Structure 1
Amino acid sequence: MVKRWLVNSMDYSLVVNFIRYPTAKQDVLSKEIIGRGTKRGGLYYLDDFDPGRAYHTHHQPSNQERQIWLWHRRLGHPSFGYLRHLLPDLFSSLQPIDFKCDTCIKVKSQRVSYPISLNKTNALFALIHSDVWEPSPITTAASYR
C-alpha cells in the first residue's frame, strides 16, 4: 500500500511517498526525487534530502511587494490591476500579473449546479426537502455541535 502526503515546509511543496522502504521525497512540479529516508522507531528520518534540487526556490519579497500584498488584503482583495490603478507608485517596477492570490482564486471558483429534480408534486407539503448535516466538528460557545 502506498500513501502520498503533500508536505509544505514553508519553502517547498513536496510529495512524500510512504512505501515500505525507503521513503522518497519528490518535488511536486518537476517530479524529481530530491530525498530519501528511512523509518526508525516510528519516525521518518531524511537520509539524503537536498533542498537545492527542488523546483521551488526561496523568494524573499521586497518591501514593495509586501506593501502591495498588505493593501490587497486591507482593501478586500481587489484585482492587482485595479490596485495598480489606485497605487501606481507601488507598481513602478512590478506588474499585476506577477501576483497570484490563493484566496481570490478559491473565492472565484464556482460549483457545478445541482441536476434538475424529477420529483414534482401538486399538493402542498407532499415533497419535503431536508438538509441533513452531521454534527459539526466545531463546538459552539454553548458547547453544542
Structure 2
Amino acid sequence: MIEFRNISKVYKMGEVEFVALKGVFITVQKGDFISIMGPSGSGKSTLMNIIGCLDTPTEGSYYLEGKNVSGLTFDQLSTIRNRKVGFVFQNFNLLPYASAYENIELPMLFNGKKGAERKARVNELLEMVGLAPWAKHRPTEMSGGQQQRVAIARALAMDPPI
C-alpha cells in the first residue's frame, strides 16, 4: 500500500542544504500498524508529510496503492490527500471560527458528499469521540484534548485507508 524506494528530502535555504531524509526504503502493507519514532530533527515529520502527500521527495519514488505519486501535481496530490489519507496535525489546524461539527464536515464538503450522508457521518464521529454535546462549539471554546478529538474525527471523516 505504501512503498518508499530510496526516498531523500533535502531542504535548501540559500546556499545551505539540510538533509532531512536520505535513502529511505519502507514498505507498509494494508493492515500493518507502524510507529515512527526518533529524536527531534530525525525526519519524522518530513516522512509523515511525504506519506500524507503534503510534501514531495527530492529523490526516489513513493508508491501509494501501486501508483507512483512522487511526481504528481499539487492538485493531484490534493485529491489523493482528500480521499486516501487521514491526517491529525500537531497543532490540529482546526478552523477557529467554525464549530466542531463544521470542522468535521469540511472534508466531506470538498468531496461532494450529500447533505444527509454528511450529517449522519458527522454525528457518528462526534459520538465516537465523545463530543456530541460540543458540536456547536468553536475550537476556542474547547480544551486542547477536545480540539484533538475534533481533529481526529475530521481525519476519519472520509474513512481513509491511511
* TM bracket (short chain): under 0.3
Q: TM-score, normalised by structure 2?
A: 0.21
Identify the structure with bigger relative contact order (alpha carbons < 8 Å, sequence gap 6+): 2
Q: Which has the larger radius of gyration?
A: 1
Give the structure-1-normalised TM-score.
Answer: 0.23
> Higher helix fraction: Structure 1 or Structure 2?
2
